[in-house]
Amino acid sequence: MTQQTVAIVGFGTAGVNAAIALRNNGYEGKILAVTDGPAVPYSPILTSYYAGGQKTYEECFPWTEAEIDSLNVEILGGCTVEAIDVAAHTLRTTSGEFAYDKCVIATGSNPVTRGFPQVEGFEPLVMRSMDDAQALKDAAADPACKRVLVSGASMVALKTLEACVLRGLDVTLVGMMPHVLDMNALPAAAERFERGLEAMGVSLKLGTTIAGVKVIADDQAYCGRQLEVTFANGDVELFDHVSVAHGMRSNLDFIPAGDLEIDRALLVDEFMRTSNPDVYAAGDVAQALELISGQRRIVGIWKNAALQGACAGSAIAYELAGLPVPASCAFAGSISTNTIVVGDLLFISAGTIELNDDRRVEVCEKLGMLAVYIYEGERLVGFNQVCDNPEDRRLAYDAGGMLTLRIERALK
């Protein structure tokens, strides 16, 4: 009998957990992982901490080489999948063509720079990979780089901002919406966070965008140039660098249009199966059950990527063994959770901030913390918590953990 091959496209958290689950569930065939990242993956969560000096380079890699080796995976690192042919069961890559029996797509997502004007001779910084983090670290290490503009106001932008603040840079944040964290925070919590940012010396330009960037030659300046930024509100300011994080986009360009069911990402069932029975998806590329809405949504967090990768790997191991996949392998669904620290500021959220006629909001101020609760009837469906006193941080983490559990338990 010829050996079966499970191909894993993208070898980050979701991909590694798929491989672990395949082996833990008795699959002994070939696992081929194709990734344009390194063979031993880093954690995107930690990249900004490396840029900011809170983590060493080595600390950004959650698995050791020995742990990855023990999975007996053939890894093609630095290799891009250019196309998947789901009918022929093949992957076309920059290192040739490979056949598979089952495939897990786990290519993650990338920050979007859409909306940032094309500027000849200048590429903005982004934050996803170790190379991205290194670029920010290198820029910040140059004494001529003093003023940085961060464009975008969501989690990745704020984590980039934190790295810049830690490096002693003068930071301005520009955001299209009236408040930061518009996907995760209601205005009361966002305002409190914004006040904290301003108290730390961050300049906020909210409700506006970058309309244009001009590169001005200056021998004395960082990289021999200054960036003259014109904002949509008419302001004009000079910066040494710009970092852009205008949301995230799942990496799905290698899937021919119409071959797999895609909404914002790959639509999957409870075993992470896409619309093709031999193709699975996990992590930031998967649109799986979100428990509060009851809809399939992208919940782009580390824990989901790990659980979904494990779910796909287990299900494939059963299927290739000719066994029914037990219900215990199913992905139970998830809720969105976020934790962001910038200097003395801590923001924690979980659940939903979507309001409707059945939901009400309660704002509560206690012990240097602001909490916003979203209730549906008596059931807690979401919360935001902002803590700006480092002495209360432990308490804030504990409260955030308990509130998250409360939302999750109410859904069971």
Ligand X SMILES: Cc1cc2nc3c(=O)[nH]c(=O)nc-3n(C[C@H](O)[C@H](O)[C@H](O)COP(=O)(O)OP(=O)(O)OC[C@H]3O[C@@H](n4cnc5c(N)ncnc54)[C@H](O)[C@@H]3O)c2cc1C
Q: Which residues bind ligand X (CB under 6 A)?
A: 9-15, 34-37, 41, 44-45, 47-48, 80-81, 106-108, 127-128, 156, 159, 251, 254, 283-284, 300-303, 305, 339
Minimum Å gap between C-beta 216 and ligand X is 30
Of the candidates 404, 349, 339, which has an alpha carbon nearest to the alpha carbon of residue 49? Answer: 339
Minimum Å gap between C-beta 24 and ligand X is 18
Rounded to whole angstroms, the Cα distance separating 1 from 90 reads 20
The smaller minimum CB distance to ligand X, of residues 78 and 207, is found at 78
Minimum Å gap between C-beta 224 and ligand X is 29
Q: Look at residue 91 and give its three-state secondary structure.
A: strand
Of the candidates 168, 165, 190, which has an alpha carbon nearest to the alpha carbon of residue 349? Answer: 190
Minimum Å gap between C-beta 80 and ligand X is 4
Residues in the chain: 412
Identify whether the C-beta of residue 176 lies closer than 8 Å to the C-beta of residue 209: yes
Q: What angle do CA 98, 104, 108 make, to 5 degrees?
A: 110
Calculate the dihedral angle through the C-alpha atoms of 232, 233, 239, 243, rounding to the nearest 10 degrees.
-50
The smaller minimum CB distance to ligand X, of residues 108 and 196, is found at 108
Minimum Å gap between C-beta 20 and ligand X is 13
The smaller minimum CB distance to ligand X, of residues 231 and 302, is found at 302
Dihedral sign (CA 183, 164, 12, 253): positive
What is the amino acid identity at position 400?
Answer: G
Rounded to whole angstroms, the Cα distance separating 292 from 351 reads 7
The smaller minimum CB distance to ligand X, of residues 47 and 226, is found at 47
Lookup: tokens for 163: 């790295």
The smaller minimum CB distance to ligand X, of residues 226 and 292, is found at 292
The smaller minimum CB distance to ligand X, of residues 49 and 222, is found at 49
The smaller minimum CB distance to ligand X, of residues 189 and 288, is found at 288
Minimum Å gap between C-beta 250 and ligand X is 9
Minimum Å gap between C-beta 232 and ligand X is 26
Rounded to whole angstroms, the Cα distance separating 259 from 240 reads 44
